[in-house]
Amino acid sequence: MTIPRIRDAGDSAVIVELGHGIDPVVNAHAVAMATRLRAAVLAGVRDVIPTFRSVAVFFDPHRVDLDDLKARVLAMQGGGGEAGEGHALDVPVEYGGEAGPDLEAVAAASGLSAADVIARHTARDYRVFMVGFLPGFAYLGGVDPSIAAPRHASPRLRVAPGSVGIAGQQTGVYPQASPGGWQIIGRTTTRFFDPGRTPSSLAAPGDRVRFVAVPRGTLGSFDAAFADAEPLAAASESRRAVTIVRPGLMTTVQDRGRWGSQHDGVPGSGAMDRASMDDANRAVGNAPAAATLEVTLGGVDVRLEHAGALAVGGADLSATLDGQPLAAGARVEHGAGGVVSFGARRQGARAYLALDGGIAVAPSLGSRATDLTSGLGGRRLRAGDRLPVGEERRGGPSGPPAAQTAARPLPAGGARVRVMPGPHSEWFPSEALDRLCRTRYEVTPESNRMGYRLRGAEPLPRDPREMISDATVEGGLQVPPSGQPILLMADRQVTGGYPIIATVITADLPVVGQLAPGDWIEFNACTRADALAALARLDASSGSRA
C-alpha cells in the first residue's frame, strides 16, 4: 500500500487515492475504509463511494472542517482489507443467440469456440471492485485473459437490461437499458438494481459473483423480468393535484436531490438550479426539501385541480396564470381549474413551479427527484399525467411564506463561472488549466441533465492513456481523448473513465444549470477560500443552503 493521497474534488468532496491500477488488495482497503467511514456517521458527510483504488467522500461544506475530515479519513485507512470480502452470488445466464449477440465474435477473436468462451466465463468467481456507470452496475474483475475483448469502437445506442458483457478483463451486467460499448455475450433476469429493495443494489464492492450457464429459454421473458409498474399511477386520486396538459421538451419532478446511495451507483439528481427552486419553495412556505416541477425551455401548460398558492422561480419562460404574467419569486393565490403556462424563452433555461405543499409523488431512496437513467422518481412527464400535491403549509423550517423573493440574476446567452483545479491535475500538462480558462466554450445540442458537451476552438491537451474509472462530481470537467470537455451535471454517472481537470464551485452550479444549447461558458480558476465565500454569499441572498 502506498501512502494515501487526498485530492480536493471541488469544494464539497475529496478523493482519497490508495494505490494504482486494478489490484484486489488495494480495492479491499478502499472497501474497508468506505465501510468504516459510513459506520462512523460523521456529521456533514453525505456520501462515501469506494472505487477500484480510491474512496470519494462527499460532504456539506457548511458543516465540515476540511482539515478535520482529512485527519479522520487518514485515521481510518489502516487495519487491512478484511472488511472488503462480502457475499457470494450466483447469476444464471443464457448465452449466445439474441441474448448474447457478440458471443460468436468474441469466440472468433479468441480463436475459441463459443462453448469454450462460455466455459471460461463461468469458471471463475469475479470480485465486485466498485458499483457505478449505472445504478447497480457492478464492475467485476478477473476475466480469463484468453477471452478478454475490447469495447466496441462505436457503442450501441441501447443495450438491453440484464445483458452480460465483457470489456477487457472486466465483465458485468447492465441493470437498466443504456447505451454501451461492452461485448454482449449473454443475458440474465437477475435484477442487479431495484429501488424497492434494501439494499437497492444486489452486489456491493467486495462481493463475489459467479455466472452459471443455463439453456436458452430457461429464464422466461427478459422484458417481463425488467418491467416496472407505472411510477405515477398512484397519483390519480389525490384531492390536491395538478395535471400536465402540455409537457413541453422536458418537464420532471425535482427536489434537492438524493444523498446516501452513490455507492450503489445512484446519482444525486435534483434540480439543476437549486437556488431558484429554493426561492420558489420559500415563497409559498414549503420546506427546503419540497418537490417542484422543473420546466426546460418552455412550451408547458399545467392545470391546477385545487385552490392554493404557487410561485415560479428560475428562467424567464414567459410564465402566466390564466394569461396573466407571473413574476419570478412572487407568491400567487390560485383557484381550482387555473392553468399555468410557460411559453417563449426570454432568459435562462429552467423554470421551477412550486405549489404550497409540494409535489407529493412517492419518494424513492429518500427523494422525489427524477433520474431518467434509472427511473428513480418517475420519468419525463407526459400529457395527461396527474400529480398529487401535499397539504398546504403555512411556514415551518423554511420560515413563513414570502410575498416576493428577490429576482435571481440569469445568464444572458452565457456565463463565466469559477472552478477549482483537479482532482486529476496530473493527467494534464501545466498549460492545460490556463487554456481552459482562456477558451470560450459553446454548450452543444448533445447536452442534457447528465452533462453538457462543450466545444471550444482549442482542445485541451491530456495524457493519452486510458484512465482507470474513478469517482465523479457534479460540476466536474471531464476531458475525453478529443480534448473537448464534458461538464458533469445533476444526473451524472457516479463513476467515469475520463480525467477531471477542474470542478465548478457549488455556488456557481445554479448559473450553469440555466444554460442551454447554443449558450457560451467560460471558466476562471479560484481557491477553496474563494469558493466558500461565494457559497456564503449565495446563502445570504436566498436564506438557503446548497
- So where are the chain's domains? 5-84, 88-225, 233-388, 414-542
d(CA 423, CA 404): 40
Length of the chain as a residue count: 546
**In what helix (H) or strand (E) does residue 40 lie, and over which residues does it extend?**
helix 24-40
Q: Is 294 helix (H, G, I), strand (E, B) or coil?
A: strand
Q: Is 31 helix (H, G, I), strand (E, B) or coil?
A: helix
From first to last of its 546 residues, the chain has per-residue pLDDT tens of 567 899 999 999 999 999 888 889 999 999 999 999 999 999 999 999 999 999 999 999 989 999 999 999 988 876 555 544 689 999 999 999 999 999 999 999 999 999 999 999 999 999 999 998 899 999 999 899 999 999 887 788 899 999 999 998 899 999 999 888 899 999 999 999 998 888 889 999 999 999 999 999 999 999 999 987 666 655 556 789 999 999 999 999 999 999 999 999 999 999 999 999 999 999 999 999 999 999 999 999 999 999 999 999 999 999 999 999 999 999 999 999 999 999 999 999 999 999 999 999 999 999 999 998 778 888 899 999 999 999 876 554 455 676 666 667 899 899 999 999 999 999 999 999 999 999 999 999 999 999 999 999 999 999 998 888 899 999 999 999 999 999 999 999 999 889 999 999 999 999 999 999 999 999 999 999 999 999 999 888 765 555
Is the separation of the CB atoms in 100 and 213 below 8 Å? no
CB atoms within 10 A of CB 459: 16
Angle between helices 528-542 and 274-283 (to 10 degrees): 20
Q: Is 193 helix (H, G, I), strand (E, B) or coil?
A: strand
d(CA 161, CA 178): 8
d(CA 376, CA 363): 9
User: Does 88-225 match 414-542 in CATH topology?
Assistant: yes
Q: What is the assigned CATH class of domain 5-84?
A: alpha beta
- The CATH label, of 3.30.70.100, 2.40.100.10, 1.10.3720.10, 3.90.1720.10, for the domain at 414-542 is 2.40.100.10
CB atoms within 10 A of CB 65: 12
**Residue in 172, 135, 236, 88 with CA at minimum distance from that of residue 491:** 135
- What is the CATH number that goes with domain 88-225? 2.40.100.10
d(CA 11, CA 64): 11
**Residue in 440, 130, 493, 510 with CA at minimum distance from that of residue 478:** 493
Taking the model in full, what pTM does it have? 0.91
**Residue in 481, 483, 504 with CA at minimum distance from that of residue 492:** 504
Dig out the grid coordinates for 357 from the structure.
Answer: 405543499
